[in-house]
């Protein structure tokens, strides 16, 4: 397997860190070298939370250099746009089309940007956009956005589906495994239709 640099972007409480742990655990189980790093911007108050996951035969740094990311997995549109400079021109953006208004928008200092998906599409080699909150079972539990998007990502990577599911069983709290597996499966199916 060649290297994979994955940047996971969201806001506090969306599961970016758990998603990074699942990806890293799978890569380790497959005998690959993995480095991860997390940055939190007032995560408790809806600030940005970014997880870098770097996978390869040998990885030296946990941080993805700007312009080098293979995947940008974003749980919200504005976060995808904010972290787009980290994506390689050959990279793929997987984004939930949800809009979570940041504090400057909520306080009326600025407006939520328009044309975000068009801008991303103009700069990424591939864009997979999904309204995750409209898809079952995510529409019943918004906390499943992360594993839904993970299912989309998994469909584009070289690891077998059953290996993803096994790692999820080992990483996610037992009482939440089934619904997360359902969300992952929905993402896997969505990506299969997207082509």
Q: Domains in the chain, start-ordered, CATH in brackets?
A: 4-106+114-194 (3.40.920.10)
Return the DSSP state at 31.
T
Strand partners, 87: 69
Residue 49, token pair as written in the block: 């939370």
| pLDDT interval class at 193 (50, 70, 90) | low
Cβ neighbors of 107 (< 8 A, separation 6 or more) are none
* Secondary structure of residue 141 in the 3-state scheme: coil
Q: Report pLDDT digits (tens) over 98-148.
A: 876 555 555 666 666 778 999 999 999 999 999 999 999 999 998 999 999
Residue 42 sits at φ, ψ, to 5 deg, of 50, 50
Could you tell me which of 107, 113, 53, 45 has the C-alpha nearest to residue 80? 113
Q: Which uninterrupted H or E stretch holds 72?
A: strand 69-74
Q: What DSSP assignment string belongs to 150-165?
A: HHHHHHHSSS-HHHHH
Residue 101, token pair as written in the block: 């208004």
Residue 96, token pair as written in the block: 């939930």
Q: Report pLDDT digits (tens) over 4-20.
A: 999 999 887 788 899 99
| pLDDT interval class at 43 (50, 70, 90) | very low
């Amino acid at each position: 397997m060649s290297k994979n640099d994955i940047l996971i972007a969201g806001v506090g409480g969306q599961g970016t860190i758990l998603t990074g742990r699942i990806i890293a655990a799978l890569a380790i189980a497959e005998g690959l070298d993995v480095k991860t790093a997390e940055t939190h911007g007032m995560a408790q108050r809806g600030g940005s939370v970014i997880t870098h996951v770097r996978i390869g035969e040998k990885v030296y740094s946990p941080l993805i250099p700007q312009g080098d990311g293979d995947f940008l997995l974003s749980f919200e549109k504005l976060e995808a746009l904010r972290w787009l400079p980290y994506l390689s021109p050959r990279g793929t953006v997987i984004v939930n089309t949800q809009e979570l208004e940041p504090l400057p928008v909520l306080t009326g200092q600025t407006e939520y940007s328009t044309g975000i998906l068009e801008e991303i599409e103009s700069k990424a080699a591939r864009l997979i956009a999904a309204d995750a909150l409209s898809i079952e079972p995510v529409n019943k539990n918004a906390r499943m956005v992360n594993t839904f998007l993970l299912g989309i990502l998994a469909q584009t990577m070289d690891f077998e589906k059953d290996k993803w599911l096994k790692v999820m069983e080992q990483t996610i709290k037992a009482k939440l495994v089934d619904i997360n597996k359902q969300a992952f499966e929905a993402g896997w199916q969505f990506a299969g239709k997207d082509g």
